[in-house]
Amino acid sequence: MTTPSESISSAVPPSESTNGFALDDQRLLEWLRHSVPKFANASIISSQRFSGGQSNPTYAVAIDGVRLVLRKKPPGQLLAGAHAVEREFRVISALHEAGFPVPRPVALCEDVAAIGTAFFLMEHVDGRIFWDLRLPELPQHDRSAYYDSMNATLAALHNTDLAATELTTFGRAGNYFERQLKRWGAQYREDVLAGRVESMDLLLDWLQTHIPSSDETTLVHGDFRMDNIVFHPSEPRVIAVLDWELSTLGHPLADFGYHLMPYRLPDMLLPGLRDRDPVALGLPSEADYVAAYCHRTGRIGIDNLEYYLAFNMFRAAAIFHGIRGRVIRGTATSAQATEVAKRVEQLADLGWNQARSVRAG
């Protein structure tokens, strides 16, 4: 039996049930032969779908012994702007060129006739993915180094020179929170099948009237968390950041607030640190982790940190709410989607409680 610290190909076990998401290997092989010179004479192909993830179906693909990863849009009716594999390919291409740790991009196909949806291919990265942010697989005295590498990687992303990576048009600059709240608020309210949640309505109203006045724009990942990171097979070093679907130009402290959120969350679908002492586990305290990020990004501190955390709890709840809608419509891509859908109210309540703690203070 494999463990979460093994390579990406085994860290997320291939699903035993295709549920309508199986690739047509021969159609994919034909497209590769005609579109990617490296595979012009390829003859043997196989694929298996990874069972993890809630959004874009992801597959381990072997072509004449070459190991790749394919990410595609799911079938069925999709919300506008969602499942943007084209944007994922663009950002990892630019970041790979700049030397940031992402998988090497291979090819993008926007022709839905090829295999049924748009998709892209990237090289497989051998390394370790940890699903439990407490890092129980590692000796206690080694754990903080992994957190430090993760912290340094996010800081490096936010310090990236956009002009040098030609990503200045990857999104809009400024007013990030206004735009995000409008986007996620509309998606939440328009998904009538998934229903309304009182605490989400209250939290959304509060967030819209308490937006911090400071504004910054950098490249943001949008889902920067431990299980979207591949570490070196034996060293505490990030070698690839995965899952760039939500990346855009945005406020770096929104991105950091999302990454910091597990310090304020209980165990949900993944372990949280709210009810644990991180230092006793060999991990940095929340205050020390924030200080390390501030040092790397040239900040004295982070004003309005509580707002950024409440914002991300709303955003996460909105994403879960969207997954609930996909479960109802029958387009959910993971067996875990039903469990995710059940957590909408819990996340919304946590976010509203976070906001109320700011109001009380």
Q: Tokens 């109320």 map to which residue?
A: 356
CA distance to 103, 144, 215, 315, per residue, from 249 (Å): 20, 29, 12, 16
Vertex 122, ends 315 and 32: CA angle to 5°?
Answer: 125
- Per-chain mean pLDDT for the chain: 87
pLDDT at residue number 76: 52
Contact 111, 158 (CB under 8 A): no
pTM of the model: 0.87
Counted residue by residue, the chain has a size of: 361
Mean pLDDT is lowest, of 183-197, 248-262, 273-287, for: 183-197
The residue-averaged pLDDT of 166-181 equals 92
pLDDT digits (tens, 9 = 90+) for 280-302: 999 999 999 999 999 999 999 99
> Distance from CA of residue 216 to its chain's centroid?
21
Higher pLDDT among residues 63 and 5, named by residue: 63
Q: How deeply is 329 buried, as exposed, middle or buried, from its count of CB atoms within 10 A (0-12, 13-18, 19+)?
A: middle
Q: Which two tokens stand for residue 258?
A: 């999302």
Helix axes 176-190, 198-209, angle to 10 degrees: 160
- pLDDT score for 115: 87
Could you tell me which residue, 245 or 270, shows the higher pLDDT?
245
What tens digit of pLDDT does each residue of 215-237 get? 999 999 999 999 999 999 999 99
The pLDDT value recorded for residue 356 is: 87
Per residue in 88-146, pLDDT (tens digit) is: 999 999 999 999 999 999 999 998 889 888 899 999 999 999 999 999 999 999 999 99
Residue 19 has pLDDT above 60, yes or no: no
Give which of 43, 9, 45, 42 is closest to 25, Cα–Cα.
45
Residue 172 sits at the vertex; the CA angle it makes with 348 and 167, to the nearest 5 degrees, is: 115
Predicted confidence (pLDDT) at residue 15 exceeds the cutoff of 90: no
Q: Is the pLDDT of residue 20 over 60?
A: no
DSSP state of 298: T
- Whole-angstrom distance, CA of residue 128 vs CA of residue 59: 17
Domains (ranges, CATH) in the chain?
A: 8-123 (3.30.200.20), 140-360 (3.90.1200.10)
